[in-house]
Amino acid sequence: AAVEDHRVEEVYWVGGEPLMYEQHWRYMQRIIELGDGPRVYARYNTNLSRIDYRGCNLYHDILSKLRDWQICASIDGTEAIGEYIRTGLDYATWLTNFKAGVAVARHRRQMRLDFTLTLPGMFEVENIQQLGEELGVDILAKVVFSFSPDIVMSPLALPRSILDPWVDKLLARTNAGALKDILVQLKTRPTFLEQYGTEAYLKGVARGKTRVLQLESIRSQSITMAEILSKRADVYEWWNAIN
């Protein structure tokens, strides 16, 4: 809590996927019932899979009653690639829910795309940029966490000779902002091969590929990693060479 203009401003951070939790709806409704809404700022980091719960709408029944709010809606890509990367994502539903927020937002900071760049998501950089422009919202961006060389979902799993030309191509088509910043960072961050050495790298990406293929065997996605990566010949050749 912080004192501002002789009032107590309560700041609530709700992370992960709060909109699925019954407690979220109950607690927020109680805050409003107590008349504290005009003193509350709410910031959400959410998959935005649900905006209605038992007759209560997030935007109209909760956020409209608060002093201010912000939604950072997690997204890793659009359509089928986005659904492949993020298990459980229904892109059409996500987009409908996001647009509903844009329709009621009072200023630009209230609705934002929170994009995490992955290896398959490299094919989605331009689509995410276009989505932000069409919706009139800003984009937050970061690279997927990569703690070991088996994280083949990271762009840093690629050798420098493949990664840099791809990044250069994307940079030429990306506007200034967060998306461009994380692409530039890929040019200076060490790749897995540079960081761990050849032996550990080869073993790591082999483990990572095995895990991806195992997950694909039990999931119902319409596409596979191989199909996505086949959009670039050099990346596809690299993937097929992992054994």
Average pLDDT value over all residues in the chain = 91
- The amino acid at residue 54 is R
Does 1 score more than 80 pLDDT?
no
**What confidence category does residue 5 fall into, taking pLDDT thresholds of 50, 70 and 90?**
very low
Contact 154, 118 (CB under 8 A): yes
What is the band of 20 on the pLDDT scale with cuts at 50, 70, 90? Answer: low
Max CA separation in the chain (angstroms): 65
Report percent pLDDT > 70 for the chain.
92
pLDDT surpassing 60 at residue 11? no
Q: Each residue of 174-232: pLDDT tens digit?
A: 999 999 999 999 999 999 999 999 999 999 999 999 999 999 999 888 899 999 999 99
Sequence-separated (6 or more) residues with CB below 8 Å from residue 236: 226, 229, 230
The torsion region of residue 216 among left (phi > 0), alpha (psi -120 to 50) and beta comes to alpha
The rounded distance, in Å, linking the Cα atoms of 158 and 206 is 13
- pLDDT for the residue 17: 53
In this predicted structure, the answer to whether residue 56 has a pLDDT above a threshold of 70 is yes
pLDDT value for 13: 41
Token digits for 170?
A: 């994307």
- What pLDDT, on the 0 to 100 scale, is given for residue 187? 96
pLDDT at 89 over 70: yes
Buried b (16+ CB within 10 A) or exposed e, 35-74: eebeebebbbbbbbbbbebeeeebbebbbebbeebbbbbb
Contact predicate 112/139, CB 8 Å: yes
Tens digit of each residue's pLDDT (9 = 90 or more) over 142-178 = 999 999 999 999 999 999 999 999 999 999 999 999 9
CA distance linking residue 109 with residue 97, whole number of Å: 17
CA-CA distance, 223 to 99, in Å (whole number)? 26
pLDDT at 9: 44
> What is the C-alpha separation between 73 and 112, in angstroms, rounded?
6
Burial of 4 per CB tally in 10 Å (0-12, 13-18, 19+)? exposed
Q: 90-118, pLDDT tens digit by residue?
A: 999 999 999 999 999 999 999 999 999 99
Q: What is the pLDDT of residue 222?
A: 83
Q: Which of 5-9, 16-20, 49-53, 63-67 has the largest mean confidence?
A: 63-67
Assign 3 a pLDDT band (cuts: 50, 70, 90): very low
